[in-house]
Structure 1
Amino acid sequence: METKHQVQSSVKDEGLIEKRREQIIQGAVKLFKKKGFHRATTREIAKEAGFSIGTLYEYIRSKEDVLYLVCDSIYNEVHNRLSNLPIQKGTIDGLRVAIDRYYRLIDDMSDEFLVMYQESKSLQKDALRYVLKKEMEMVALFEDLLQACVKSGELRISTDNISMAAHHIVVQGQMWAFRRWAMHKSYTIEDFIRVQTDQLFSGVVGESS
């Protein structure tokens, strides 16, 4: 059974905890992107979030907790956007919609993705294990969609290569977060999605039926 890393709070109001932690995440992402995790202080995080250092410590125990919350917010949003898509599984169109939704999520949360991959090595072991497990669950969402397309006959790809194709989808999308600074003058997010999806279906995944 999975044991989720727990971020302790002295506040009992769950709605207030969610609201304040969202403020902490937004402030921390700006600060970590500018200064890096190790150079940023909890006092600076509190200031960016809009409240005092004392208030900050009502919602987290350490700076590492803040980084964990940033990482977890990404996976929660991926799950929310991809787990209940209004698509027909086992179809190319459905797979395209899922890729489109995921890549647009990366566009919306590009700073969060950038911070997560630059700084997640600073997480404590239990939190890092949890984050890596959630990363594999994200890949598994696309493995499931690819497997359904193979089963329906809409894709010709060997079972052994489904996992690699799923990793390819996930990593290629994340390139938008890492390389958007170099591509944004030539590509919109719509261009990026179209080119990456076309290359996926003509190359890594193979020709559709």
Structure 2
Amino acid sequence: MQKKNVPSLVKDQKLIKKRRSQIVKAAVTLFNQKGYHKATTREVAQASGFSIGTLYEYIGSKEDILYLVCDAVYDEVVEKWEKLMDGELQGLDRLHQVIEAYFRVIDSLQDEVLVMYQESKSLSDEALSYVLEKELKMKAMFEKELRVAKSEDIVHLDESEFSLACHNILVAGHMWTFRRWAIQRDYDIDSYCKWQIHQLLQSFGVKLPKPGATIERETGGTV
């Protein structure tokens, strides 16, 4: 699936990137406050710091704004996720960090992820297909890690279980945002990571010391 071509009257790619970043940031705030359908392009322009005429120099339609938001969310998640990873870690420590880093990135992008979940259904079929394809690429990243962990006899998943295991990780991260009205009353991000990862590892067949026990990591943290 090819990236959607969002029209721009401006040719300077650096300026396009800068202005669209402003648009995305403003749109996330407005879409969370009012919803995609109630927020107007004029309001997005005003919140972005420029006129409606200037806004349309960088987009062709209101849907382009939502598409840019969804596209940016996945790119930023992957970029921040990779920066948090320690390439020296191996084995169970590596698998733990892969999942925890993902959860913490989602925590830092809560508003963006919430907009994506609530409003992506308003995208055209073509744009939505592209956005969903990016999520499947994230799923593939988790599957790669789980398969390495299986080859090291860390996780014990049947072939038919890998796909669902990856979806479980993705949803567990996203749940921190779309259920935050309830979950964040009882947990902070540290305790959420601890218990979610513990439950995920159990479901992956990781040999824990005993039910409910914790695994001490080299960094001093626990699962």
Q: Which TM bucket (shorter chain)?
A: over 0.9
User: Unpaired segments of 5 or more residues in structure 2?
Assistant: 209-223
CA contact (8 A) 2:154 2:206 kept: no
Q: CA deviation at 1:197?
A: 0.3
Render the CA deviation track for 1:45-84: whole Å, top value 9, x for unaligned. Answer: 1011111101100111111000001101111122223457
Render the CA deviation track for 1:66-116: whole Å, top value 9, x for unaligned. Answer: 000110111112222345733358622111111111111111111111111
Render the CA deviation track for 1:150-199: whole Å, top value 9, x for unaligned. Answer: 01211111121011110000001100001222222321111111110011
Q: Which moved more, 1:184-193 or 1:50-59?
A: 184-193
Q: What are the equivalent positions in structure 2 for 1:14-33 lying under 5 Å apart?
A: 14-33=13-32
Counterpart of 1:102 in structure 2 is 102
1:122 matched to 2:122? The reply is yes
| AA of the residue aligned to 1:180 | R
Counterpart of 1:92 in structure 2 is 92
Q: What are the equivalent positions in structure 2 for 1:37-186 lying under 5 Å apart?
A: 37-83=36-82, 85-87=85-87, 91-186=91-186
Distance 1:24 1:56, change over 3 A: same
CA contact (8 A) 1:89 1:149 kept: no
Structure 2 distance, partners of 1:78, 1:163, is 20
User: Unpaired segments of 5 or more residues in structure 1?
Assistant: none
Q: Which moved more, 1:185-194 or 1:87-96?
A: 87-96
| AA of the residue aligned to 1:35 | K
Distance 1:148 1:89, change over 3 A: farther
- Stretches of 4+ aligned residues off by more than 6 angstroms: none
Structure 1 distance, partners of 2:153, 2:87, is 17
Structure 2 distance, partners of 1:106, 1:79, is 10
| AA of the residue aligned to 1:64 | E
Percent identity (aligned) = 48
Structure 2 distance, partners of 1:46, 1:25, is 10
Structure 2 distance, partners of 1:114, 1:183, is 14
Render the CA deviation track for 1:128-151: whole Å, top value 9, x for unaligned. Answer: 110011111111110111011001
CA contact (8 A) 2:155 2:206 kept: yes
TM-score (norm 2): 0.88
Structure 2 distance, partners of 1:208, 1:74, is 34
1:205 matched to 2:204? The reply is yes
| AA of the residue aligned to 1:125 | D
Structure 2 distance, partners of 1:185, 1:128, is 32
Counterpart of 1:9 in structure 2 is 8
Q: Which moved more, 1:80-89 or 1:15-24?
A: 80-89
| AA of the residue aligned to 2:69 | V
| AA of the residue aligned to 1:196 | Q
TM-score (norm 1): 0.93
Q: Which moved more, 1:63-72 or 1:4-13?
A: 4-13
